[in-house]
Amino acid sequence: MVEFATPEQAQEKKATRAAFGVTLAELAEEGVPVVAVDADLSGSTTTAKFAKASDDNADRLFNCGIAEQNMIDVAAGLSLAGQIAFTGSFAVFGTGRAYDQIRNTVAYSGLNVKICPTHAGVSVGPDGGSHQMLEDVALMRELPGMTVLVPADYEAARSSIKLAAKTDGPVYVRMGRAAVPAVYAPGVELEVGRAYVLREGTDVTIVANGVEIREALLAADELAERGISAEVIDAFCVKPLDEETILASARKTGRVVVAEEHSKFGGLCSAVAETLALNHPTRCAFVAMNDKFGKSGSFEELMSYFGLDSKAIVEAVESIVAK
């Protein structure tokens, strides 16, 4: 059974990217044949921590320079040599710039490459719209055979990286820059294809992942004060989606709000909407980027500016509960 963070643990904020390098080092120490391939960003992606953990690990980090397409091809070659290859870089470069290589070299051939960029979404903050990747989940989700994971906190990211190592074939793990509260207890072990009910409710279902889990839980607290009981589900595994858990909740509450730090097109919003449309048509609302690029600003400012925060979730819930 999955255990959740205590209130005290929830106060300890860490970025999901902080789990990357240290988890790779743990896997290497356990004898898992992992290698890391980075694009001159090992300090920011934290793969440098993997290399510094041991002399052997230092030889298992490959810096390809500012050349993400080459990074993917090097990882593909290493996977064909029997290694479990993890790629770094920022999400905007690690998926957008390298999409052709991910599609044709990795996904088309079903190679054992793990695409694990950091700095996704508006939580990149001051770097601005050019660096705030908001289409990556859609790009990766549409690729045949690609598993897509969007962890909510440090422990979920740690578990996701371990899951990626154990899952045969291409896997996408989306990590962020901003420090976020703990959701799960230390050492949690999540499962591919599972969603987790973080809070039970009867009036509305809030399906979220990544940094939006924080906002969904805050929204649930505020909604409770207004007499609305919200069920909060962490759909950290976007593909394959846990349709059973989401449908069971939708049948119970009759209303669904989906929240993600991503474009509303092609990501979790689309995945949930598709599932409901085919199996149990349900009144829905979406809290996500609505056909826009990002802007420069602090994480908190941008979440409010683009309507991605708990206030926006509360408003979305009230808009469908009132009908």
User: Which own/partner contact pairs does 32-35 have at CB distance under 8 Å and 24+ positions apart?
Assistant: 32/84, 32/165, 33/82, 33/83, 33/84, 34/60, 34/83, 34/84, 34/85, 34/86, 34/165, 35/60, 35/61, 35/62, 35/75, 35/78, 35/83, 35/84, 35/85, 35/86
Q: By C-alpha distance, which of 237, 13, 1, 247 is closest to 137?
A: 237
Burial group, residue 10, by CB count within 10 angstroms (0-12, 13-18, 19+): middle
Return the residue matching tokens 């979404």.
Answer: 121
Q: Does 215 participate in catalysis according to the annotation?
A: no
Active-site residue among 26, 68, 215, 315? Answer: 68
Rounded Cα gap, residues 124 and 120, in angstroms: 7
What are the b/e assignments for 49-86, b being 16+ CB within 10 Å? bbbebeeebeebbbbbeebbbebbbbbbebbeeebbbb
233, two tokens: 């589900």
174, two tokens: 């989306």
Contact 289, 264 (CB under 8 A): yes
DSSP state of 31: T
Give alpha helix (H) positions in 105-211. Answer: 136-141, 154-166
Which residue numbers are catalytic?
A: 68
